[in-house]
Structure 1
Amino acid sequence: MKTLHLYVVRHGKTYFNRYNKLQGWGNSPLMAEGIKDAQIAAQTLSNVDLKAAYSSDTTRAMDTAKIIIDGNKNKQHLQLITASNFREEFYGSFEGSNMDVAWTSAGASVGLKTYKEIVDAYGVDKTKDLLKAADPWHDAENSEEYWQRVNQGFQRILNNPILDDGDSVLLISHGNTLISLADRFGEGKIQVHERPLNGSIARMELSADGLTILTYNNQPVQN
């Protein structure tokens, strides 16, 4: 069974990150600080023997990926593969909303006011379900819709014929997606109340059995 080594990087800081706005399928550009986030990640990963590189099809992820690829020793052989499977959670009509206001709306039906309160009481997947229910158009993704899309993306990586057992792969991801992965595959060892740092690196192992998270937000996952 093939096992791949994933380097999962959160994109650099954007203007919507700065303004505390929900940023799912919507997009804002990297700030100068966000470009620096990507450059630091590129330095850290420069000598990793990357065999493939993936990102979502949002510009903040693609721009981050290009900086990291350009700094990698294998840059001449790496071509960025983009896929909508790796987009952030879709927030529906809450896209671009203040995060605190959006999560207060999501938690209103269960008497909770913050993302942290919802996660503590119900888990990360429930935040998606509650936000979809609170969206007047119900366009926001619920947990089932979200995981169907993301799991197809990981299967796409596993099915890449150029990748062999033990190969290393870059994946540029998003804050809530990293939280979702940590909640589902972190075995309760990872704090999921707050988004990981922009430009932070998580090391994971991907196989047909799922994901194992080794480091998260630049820190080892403690056994």
Structure 2
Amino acid sequence: MASATLILLRHGESQWNRENRFTGWTDVPLTVRGRQEADRAGDALRAAGLMPDRVFTSVMTRCVHTVWRVLDRLDRSWTPVEKSWRLNERHYGALQGLNKDDAARIMGEETVRLWRKSFSGIPPADAEAPAQLRRDLRYRRVALADLPATESLEMTLRRVMPYWQHAVVPQLRCGSSVLVVAHGNTLRALTAFLDGMPYDSVAQLHIPTGVPVVYQMDAAAQVVSRDVLNIKKKE
């Protein structure tokens, strides 16, 4: 029997999504389309009668602004929101900022495919990234050793899961309705865990921007059912 609700939502389209660039931990804004996607996600939640008691999101602007717009559409701007770097997107190392097609052409299509789509493939590191991130006020309380220079999907999963267990699960066990607004790869990791998927198939999951996925959870925070909300397209 369901006792709590979990809603997973990828942020709306970002500028680098539109430009087909590796984004990772680079802070880029939502596009006009991305803002519309966030609004429509909020409308879909409202139509379904899904009102979150608490929201968890990353510290990236594209996620935070998605949260703002969703809660505004729900007329629940007062809802508690907790932000954590552990929900950030996978760090793509030296690939960040590169167009994906250009990277495949320069570095080899198969090589880039393995970096992107395999569970354990690690892109080339950006050795200066941890020190640069440490100067960002968002990460001032994060140990330098915890700030990535690059990540595989496996490493992203290891970063996300402790936060899931210690922050999100207790809310679900209390019977709360929880909204998690995050990124394509962090949500791939959570989806694989929730759906019991083999991790070697995680990278093949397609997580569209702005589409809420709703899980009904039991008292032990185990999945009872899963549903994808229909999004009304702009006419």
Asked if TM exceeds 0.5, the reply is yes
Q: Verify: 1:173 aligned to 2:182, yes or no.
A: yes
Q: Verify: 1:152 aligned to 2:152, yes or no.
A: no
**Aligned Cα RMSD in Å?**
3.5
What SS does the aligned partner of 2:86 have? helix
2:96 equivalent in structure 1: 95
Partners of 1:36 and 1:184 lie apart in 2 by: 29
Partners of 1:136 and 1:117 lie apart in 2 by: 14
User: What per-residue deviation string (whole Å, max 9, x for no partner) do you get for residues 61-117 of structure 1?
Assistant: 0000011111225x15402211111111111221111223446788x6xx8255389
Distance 1:182 1:50, change over 3 A: closer
Q: Verify: 1:193 aligned to 2:204, yes or no.
A: yes
Distance 1:22 1:115, change over 3 A: same
User: What per-residue deviation string (whole Å, max 9, x for no partner) do you get for residues 17-60 of structure 1?
Assistant: 01001111112111111110000001011231311011111000
User: What per-residue deviation string (whole Å, max 9, x for no partner) do you get for residues 144-196 of structure 1?
Assistant: 53223201221212235xx6543211111112222333444434599953642
1:41 equivalent in structure 2: 41
Q: How many residues align?
A: 204
TM-score, normalisation: structure 2:
0.71
What amino acid is the match of 1:214? R
Describe how 1:46-125 pairs up with structure 2 within 5 A: 46=46, 47-73=49-75, 75=76, 77-102=78-103, 112-113=110-111, 115=113, 119=117, 124-125=118-119
Structure 2 gaps of 5+ residues are 128-147
Structure 1 gaps of 5+ residues are none
Partners of 2:122 and 2:159 lie apart in 1 by: 19
TM-score, normalisation: structure 1:
0.74
Indicate conservation of the 8 Å contact 2:52/2:179, yes or no: yes
What amino acid is the match of 2:119? D
What amino acid is the match of 1:186? D
Distance 1:150 1:176, change over 3 A: same
Indicate conservation of the 8 Å contact 2:68/2:77, yes or no: no
Indicate conservation of the 8 Å contact 2:56/2:181, yes or no: yes
What SS does the aligned partner of 1:33 have? helix
What amino acid is the match of 1:215? D
Indicate conservation of the 8 Å contact 1:104/1:112, yes or no: no
What amino acid is the match of 1:130? I
Q: Verify: 1:203 aligned to 2:214, yes or no.
A: yes
Identity %: 23
Deviation at 1:142, TM superposition (A): 3.2
What SS does the aligned partner of 1:159 have? helix
Indicate conservation of the 8 Å contact 1:9/1:171, yes or no: yes
Partners of 1:105 and 1:166 lie apart in 2 by: 50
Indicate conservation of the 8 Å contact 2:27/2:61, yes or no: yes
Q: Verify: 1:215 aligned to 2:213, yes or no.
A: no
Indicate conservation of the 8 Å contact 1:53/1:171, yes or no: yes
Indicate conservation of the 8 Å contact 2:122/2:151, yes or no: no
